[in-house]
Amino acid sequence: MEGTEKYPVIGSPFRQPTLLPQTFKTSTLSVSMAVLTRADIVSAIQQKSIVFSPALDVFQLQPHAVDLRLGYRFLIPRNWMVNQKGRCAIKVSIDDTAAHREQFDEVILTPGQYFDLLPNEFVIATSLEHIEMNDPHLMAILFPRTSTNRRGINLSLSGIIDTGYKGHLIFPMKNEAGNQVLRIYPGERVCQIIFEELTHLLSQEESNQHGLDAAKYSSQNSPHYQLDKEEERHLLSQGKLDDLKQHYPLS
């Protein structure tokens, strides 16, 4: 891979592409993706290929990952509402966009406050850090920290962070510690992000393209839960998966 003038390739200069095993050599594909190490991450931050706001501290930088801190914003799912018919359960279904708009209550804490995660409670949390992926050669993957899972907080996630992404990250949290109430504080390190180099450079347009349309989440969008594409949801709710495959083939 070759770097761009503004964002050079980050990584070990002596690393060579790893060829596929002989049994898979039906094409000319070679693999050169690599995970960034501590020195690579520091270099990327210095060059503003990756930007964290607020800036990272020494506790967050790991040998080949960055720990992310819990933010102040939480989304708590609602399970009922009151309308002209009375008290009704909120139906959370892909064919009901209005229900999704009413699905969450928002809690925004201030410094010094905490959040009690109730037994079996599910919430959506946000990262403290606003992240910018400015290098078109880089993407990232979000993982839970094992220490978070050991507390009984289910952060069983892994998520792709596209090249060019700008914004806070959101992740689900569930209390699976039996009957215990788990008290969490904004600023706790709860998950980690691993950076990888891409085999080929992606343009901003390509990185924003998810299926037929642009990505659901960006710095301009609310981090509330958002639905998949309308055409896709309509066909799925009608049981027309075969029609979906026929009308939207991979070209």
149 in a domain, yes or no? Answer: yes
> Which CATH number is 88's domain given?
2.70.40.10
Calculate the average pLDDT of the chain: 78
11 in a domain, yes or no? Answer: no
* Location of structure tokens 């998950």: 191
CA 124, CA 75: separation in Å to the nearest integer?
5
2 in a domain, yes or no? Answer: no
- Residue 9 pLDDT class (50, 70, 90 cuts): very low
Buried/exposed code over 88-112 (b: 16+ C-beta within 10 A; e: otherwise): eebeeeeebeebbeebbeeeeeeee
Helix (H) or strand (E) holding 109: none
24 in a domain, yes or no? Answer: yes
12 in a domain, yes or no? Answer: no
CA 64, CA 116: separation in Å to the nearest integer?
31
For 181-239, the pLDDT digits (tens) are 999 999 999 999 999 998 877 666 666 654 445 544 444 444 444 545 677 767 766 77
If one counts the domains in the chain, the total is 1
Q: Which residue range is the domain that position 94 belongs to?
A: 18-247
170 in a domain, yes or no? Answer: yes
For 43-99, the pLDDT digits (tens) are 999 999 999 999 999 899 999 999 999 999 999 988 888 889 898 888 766 565 555
Taking CA atoms, 212 is separated from 104, 209, 242, in Å, by 27, 7, 17
Query: So what's the pLDDT on residue 214?
Result: 52
66 in a domain, yes or no? Answer: yes
**Of 15-19, 84-88, 244-248, which range is least confident?**
15-19
29 in a domain, yes or no? Answer: yes
Among the listed residues 63, 52, 62, 77, the one whose alpha carbon sits nearest the alpha carbon of residue 127 = 52
Query: So what's the pLDDT on residue 32?
Result: 56
